[in-house]
Amino acid sequence: MFSSDSERKEKIEDRLKETQKVFGYVFDKFTILNIYKLFTDKTLGRFEFPIASGKESLVFAASNDDKFYAVKIYKTVASTFKNIERYAGQRWGIENTRNKRKFIVQWAHREYRNLELASASGVIAPRPIKVIGNVLVMQYVGTKRIPAPLMKDCDITENILTQTLHSIRTLYTKAQLVHGDLSEYNFLVYRKRPYMIDIAQAIQTNDKMALILLRRDIEIMTKFFNKFGYKLLEDKILKYTVGESNVFR
């Protein structure tokens, strides 16, 4: 044997220390280990650049050979868990637990599963690649130099508008999900396509809250689109989204 178990362990600990230096004190050991696993199983080759840092997550661009990925790291030590607290313990398979980390891990897995359902149904959304603990790897949206902008910073053409509403409809009718936190902040626009993101909190259409959340999603999107001079009506869009009508105006 070339390396004994203890030598191997030492090596891993050295690498961990190195990684810890790179990430400063942002991540706990659990997070670093999950990242480390994504490198040792060859899902990722290197980090490229940070994309966004919020209260609940950090998103990085990473690569493997020539392929880019987005890595969303759910903070296990965040001070607030706005979304998670909002939905905690109520429904959707996240049972109440005092263990915050377990919670966050479930949240990351929910996002993976919802991205999977969305993509498989034909919704334009990042394809999920892998989730380990609190770290989710998905399709990266953007160029190798800059990540795609949020919809809030884009001009809304008829084409983008149509695709966005069609995606919300497909999410409802095919994936049987309601996003629940839609806004111009949760779509990326890349190559004239709107990518739906941030989908961990999505709920099933048969949930008793589904219609309330769907109405809110539609209200927010309609208000945003109408700022560009469109005269969309929420009721028409609602009927279109649930599949009761084939036109949204």
Ligand X SMILES: Nc1ncnc2c1ncn2[C@@H]1O[C@H](COP(=O)(O)OP(=O)(O)OP(=O)(O)O)[C@@H](O)[C@H]1O
- Give the catalytic positions in this structure: 181, 198
CA 70 to chain centre: 10
| Residues 131 and 114 sit within 8 Å (Cβ to Cβ) | no
In whole angstroms, give the CA distance from residue 83 to residue 104.
11
- 56 scored as a contact of Mg ion (CB under 5 A): no
String of contacts with ligand X for each residue 152-191, x by CB under 6 A: ---------------------------------xx-x---
Q: Is 30 exposed, middle or buried (0-12, 13-18, 19+ CB in 10 A)?
A: middle
What's the closest the beta carbon of residue 10 comes to ligand X, in angstroms? Answer: 35
- Is residue 218 within 8 Å of residue 179, measured between CB atoms? no
Interface segment toward ligand X; rule CB under 6 A; list 3-11, 34-42, 51-59, 101-109? 51-59
Beta bridge partners of 68: 63
Residue 233: how many CB atoms within 10 A of its CB? 12
Burial call 33-59: b when 16+ CB within 10 Å, e when fewer = bbbbebbeeebbeebbeebeeeebbbb
Number of residues that bind ligand X (CB under 6 A): 22
Instruction: Please tell me the number of Cα atoms within 13 Å of 175 on its side-chain side.
Output: 27
From candidates 50, 54, 122, 243, binder to ligand X by CB under 6 A: 54
Q: Of the ranges 3-11, 14-22, 84-92, 179-187, which one interacts with Mg ion (CB under 5 A)?
A: 179-187
Q: Does residue number 147 form part of the binding site for ligand X (CB under 6 A)?
A: yes
Please tell me whether residue 102 adopts helix, strand or coil conformation.
helix
Residue number of the CB atom closest to Mg ion: 198
Q: Does position 141 bind ligand X by CB under 6 A?
A: yes
Say whether residue 45 binds ligand X (CB under 6 A): no
Residue from the set 198, 203, 222, 240 that interacts with Mg ion by CB under 5 A: 198
Which window, 31-39, 86-94, 102-110, 193-201, contacts Mg ion (CB under 5 A)? 193-201
**What residues line the site for ligand X (CB under 6 A)?**
51-52, 54, 56-57, 59, 70, 72, 126, 138-142, 147-148, 150, 185-186, 188, 197-198
